[in-house]
Structure 1
Amino acid sequence: MMEPNFELLPVDDSPITTPTLVCSWCGGWRFVKRRKSPKGHQIYLCRVCGRHFTHNTDKFVPILNPEAEYEKDIWDCRNLGLKARIGRQQYKVNFVGIEQPWLLKAAKQYIRYTLATLSFSSGSEKVLALKRFSVFLAINYPTIEPADIDRSTIADFLLYIAGQNLSANTRCHTIGSMRSFFETCIQNEWVSFRRYLIRSEDFPKRLSSVPRFIPEDVMRQLNEHLSDLPEPVMRMVMVLTECGMRISELLFLESNCLLQDKSGDWFLRYYQFKMKKEITIPISRELVRVIQEQQRYITNALSIEKFVYLFCANEGGGCKGGFTASPKNMAAYTFSRYLNKLAERYNICDVTGSLWHFQAHQFRHSVGTRMINSGVPQHIVQRYLGHESPQMTAVYAHIFDQTMKEEVAKFHGKVVNVAGQVVESNVEIETADLEWFKRNIQAQSLPNGSCALPTISQGCPHANACLSCNHFRTTVEFLREHSQQLEQTEKIIDKAKANGWQRQVEMNEKIAINLRNIITSLEGTTDG
């Protein structure tokens, strides 16, 4: 293989297209000269990825033969032609720490094999499991050979990781990675392991996931001080708050992300890197204006550089005051840093008085939780968030069950229909407090309850017949009114019977029966 020839480049600012020097970040060969570093190294700006680099041998790594990279103990994905983890500057897989030579060799073969189908970051996670296994062997079985590893060894390993203060999910990932490693080595005849070393019963029970949503009180405090964030960061918060996308999807959201249908409604199109698919979701006109403002900002701020994304980084990172657009993507931790600095400045706290620590993924959980709590069907939430399975969306449904339980505990009494049957609801029904019903149903306030007629209905088909209507709802607050009405109804029935008014008798007896059922059910509430 010929050695790379690093030629001296022209001093002018025109794009350099010589392939003798490439960007150490993306391998691109279109770049321009910038300033020199304090150590005298020439700095270049890549026109492809927007990052700065030098051809200093300490930082610049030319594209090598992948076979040579595989021989190293630290692999750089840029030298293997692989993409780094989206949204994070993670470029390397580090095998340092795997002490056993046979395990190190097998680990490299295994990770190289998995990189054909898995992402680079997934390979890094599997290496971490192999390192744990290596440390375990070094402590407990320093001279063991692969053929000597049996179920007894694995049982000791399971006890070892159980005592490492790892979460149940992390232990599951570790055990799963080791099972995959053993089976792949056996299938490819790399190492003579025994079969079925790890079995299904070895996995600990995973804990139910609880969404890490942002409490409404914290969101209110954040919104109060949102204008103190740099304008691009403020718009990023607005997009996350409505759409609930992952931070990697926001950072790499392309500028031409807006779509409009024939009806004039707007949609946001973006790519989900985790699911490897593109999705389109409806958005509000308010958010459309926010995105259009950001599009104009990018056009004006980065008119010289070609930048295809909606959001960019600040020159110098998130530690500097103000915001000067730089033609590169913001790092995920930088976005969170802006919010946490704001929280410190204005003492944004939760109900316990503890300072709130913002994480970008909390916005996604908040959107999912809010949609579930607002009564949006779970399959719609699943499609909106781009979940592959209902189980992923069920994480947010769990908190809805908790919210229901808490809200029901606040009830002063039952909510019943005309038959005296308890109707589930997640709000307290009072004449002066029908806000939830006003948003979801017509909710006409009646002298002795409320109407639960759905919004899609075209008016009430029952004229003055609420006590014979299935849409009628009432609570214990109206118990006195129901008793008075029952007394009046019984007088009407007696008079109708005396005069032979059979139709009036039939109509009012039905109302009387419903009133008795309602009173019996509501009196049970007061007795309890």
Structure 2
Amino acid sequence: MYRRSCSAASAVGVDALAQIDRPVLERYLADLQATVSGQKTHGEFIGLVNHFFQTIRQHRWDDTLPTTAVFFAEDYPKRAKLLPRALAEHVMTQLEQPANMDRWHDPVGRLVTLILMRCGLRVSDALRLPLDCIIRDADSAPYLRYFNHKMKREALVPIDNEVEAAIAAQKQHITARWPDGSPVLFPQRTANPDGTKPLIDSSYRRMLNQWLAEVDIRGEQVALDPDGHLAEVAWAKQRLGRVTQALPNGFCGLPLQKTCPHANACLTCPMFVTTPEFLPQHRQQRQQLLQIVSAAEARGQLRVVEMNQQVLGNLDQIITALEADEPPGDTQAADAG
């Protein structure tokens, strides 16, 4: 940076700070545009020189530096838009095939990948899962308990039997290797005598790259059997990808920018009335809401989280009221108030 700046200044006959004005800076910008346009260093060269000017003024090293010797926000190159990081649906379909998952030689890497796919966690959150990361609700349904470091709060996400069984097997392995116990589900394997250090990102990514090399995903479309299991999974993913609110009998796909006077309004309406016979629907809807909120938190969709948190709170109150012991023959109903 220093040599480039000095070369640019000498090329236009500048040998003192007092001679640096806007035309000189524009020549410098033109030189950068011609030589490093599109490169990361383009903006860095401008920022470093601008910071140098600010430091001179801050410490009053040379008061002859003109006030016009400054770069503006418009002088910096526009950052190129990054491509979406999400995998294509047909690629995920191939990765999730049992035959490809069975290519994992490392059970730890397989379990981490399974959690990422099924639960939507970030890699950093998954690797730092506590050893006792499974809790159960009143119906004994298993949930994965983890700390969402981006949102800085604990979160829950429902899990299936396969994930639950794999976590139980991992806990047994950890207990066998570290009899005194380990606070994390995935301890680092080396330089970790007491098992307190979690697996680092680079270790998992190395395992992941080895697995992907064996799977050899080429991004080709896969024809799904309409009556097969994968077709059902693809259908569910397509629908759930557009979910913003859970409803008692389905989901709401209304754009978040719009307000619907009816979708889920019953659960926040003081005129809403329900009875114990609807408890199964309420419990099912609560599980769906928890899944939506957890997935939205993991993706940073604060609007979706906000929309469903109030509904979830009212639903908890309704379920509690309906589950309370009532005198025989009492037909009093619970409301959303």
- TM-score, structure 2 normalization: 0.51
Q: 1:384 aligns with which of 285, 288, 297?
A: 297
CA distance in 2 between partners of 1:276 and 1:245 (Å):
12
Q: 2:73 aligns with which of 200, 204, 215?
A: 200
Aligned to 2:147: 270
CA distance in 2 between partners of 1:239 and 1:260 (Å):
17
Tell me, yes or no, if structure 1 residue 140 matches structure 2 residue 8: yes
Aligned to 1:185: 55
Tell me, yes or no, if structure 1 residue 351 matches structure 2 residue 220: yes
Amino acid at match of 2:209: N
Task: Give 1:239 shift.
Answer: 1.4
Aligned to 2:201: 332
Residues 214-271 of structure 1 show CA distances to partners (whole Å, capped at 9, x for unaligned) of 2333334333222232100000101111333333333333334444455655243224
Aligned to 2:36: 164
Structure 2 counterparts to residues 294-309 of structure 1, below 5 A = 294-304=170-180, 307-309=182-184
Task: Give 1:340 shift.
Answer: 2.6
Q: 1:238 aligns with which of 110, 114, 130?
A: 114
Contact 1:302–1:327 (CA under 8 A) maintained in structure 2 = no
Structure 2 counterparts to residues 81-160 of structure 1, below 5 A = 133-134=1-2, 136-141=4-9, 150-152=21-23, 154-156=25-27, 158-159=29-30
Residues 65-85 of structure 1 show CA distances to partners (whole Å, capped at 9, x for unaligned) of xxxxxxxxxxxxxxxxxxxxx
Would the alpha carbon gap of residues 190 and 371 (structure 1) be closer, same or farther in structure 2, given more than 3 Å must change? farther
Contact 1:253–1:271 (CA under 8 A) maintained in structure 2 = no
Contact 2:131–2:171 (CA under 8 A) maintained in structure 1 = yes
Would the alpha carbon gap of residues 161 and 222 (structure 1) be closer, same or farther in structure 2, given more than 3 Å must change? farther
Range moving further from structure 2, 177-186 or 288-297? 177-186
> What SS is found at the alignment partner of 1:228?
coil
Contact 2:8–2:28 (CA under 8 A) maintained in structure 1 = no
CA distance in 2 between partners of 1:308 and 1:173 (Å):
44
Alignment: residue pair count: 229
Task: Give 1:331 shift.
Answer: 3.8
Amino acid at match of 2:77: P
Task: Give 1:311 shift.
Answer: 1.3
Contact 1:269–1:279 (CA under 8 A) maintained in structure 2 = yes
Amino acid at match of 1:253: L
> What SS is found at the alignment partner of 1:205?
coil
Aligned to 1:129: none
Would the alpha carbon gap of residues 212 and 141 (structure 1) be closer, same or farther in structure 2, given more than 3 Å must change? same
> What SS is found at the alignment partner of 1:235?
helix
Amino acid at match of 2:5: L
Q: 2:188 aligns with which of 303, 313, 335?
A: 313
Task: Report the structure, 1 or 2, having the larger helix content.
Answer: 2
Amino acid at match of 1:301: R
- TM-score, structure 1 normalization: 0.35
Q: 1:217 aligns with which of 90, 96, 99?
A: 90
Amino acid at match of 1:164: V
Task: Give 1:388 shift.
Answer: 7.3
CA distance in 2 between partners of 1:314 and 1:136 (Å):
47
Would the alpha carbon gap of residues 298 and 180 (structure 1) be closer, same or farther in structure 2, given more than 3 Å must change? farther
Would the alpha carbon gap of residues 215 and 182 (structure 1) be closer, same or farther in structure 2, given more than 3 Å must change? same
Task: Give 1:207 shift.
Answer: 3.7
Cα RMSD, aligned residues only: 4.4
Aligned to 2:158: 283
Amino acid at match of 2:90: D
CA distance in 2 between partners of 1:190 and 1:259 (Å):
62
Would the alpha carbon gap of residues 374 and 220 (structure 1) be closer, same or farther in structure 2, given more than 3 Å must change? closer
| Greater relative contact order, per chain length (Cα 8 Å cut-off, separation 6+) | 2
How much identity, in percent, do the aligned residues show? 19
> What SS is found at the alignment partner of 1:249?
helix
Residues 177-207 of structure 1 show CA distances to partners (whole Å, capped at 9, x for unaligned) of 6498468737853766765722222233344
CA distance in 1 between partners of 2:145 and 2:43 (Å):
34
Aligned to 1:250: 126
CA distance in 2 between partners of 1:153 and 1:200 (Å):
17
Range moving further from structure 2, 381-390 or 248-257? 381-390
| Structure 1 segments unaligned to the other structure (5+ residues) | 1-132, 317-324, 353-369, 391-528
CA distance in 2 between partners of 1:243 and 1:176 (Å):
43
Aligned to 1:375: 242
Would the alpha carbon gap of residues 202 and 269 (structure 1) be closer, same or farther in structure 2, given more than 3 Å must change? same
Aligned to 2:320: none
Would the alpha carbon gap of residues 187 and 342 (structure 1) be closer, same or farther in structure 2, given more than 3 Å must change? same
Aligned to 1:508: none
Would the alpha carbon gap of residues 149 and 385 (structure 1) be closer, same or farther in structure 2, given more than 3 Å must change? farther
Task: Give 1:153 shift.
Answer: 5.2
> What SS is found at the alignment partner of 1:268?
strand
Would the alpha carbon gap of residues 182 and 339 (structure 1) be closer, same or farther in structure 2, given more than 3 Å must change? same
Aligned to 2:316: none
Would the alpha carbon gap of residues 175 and 246 (structure 1) be closer, same or farther in structure 2, given more than 3 Å must change? farther
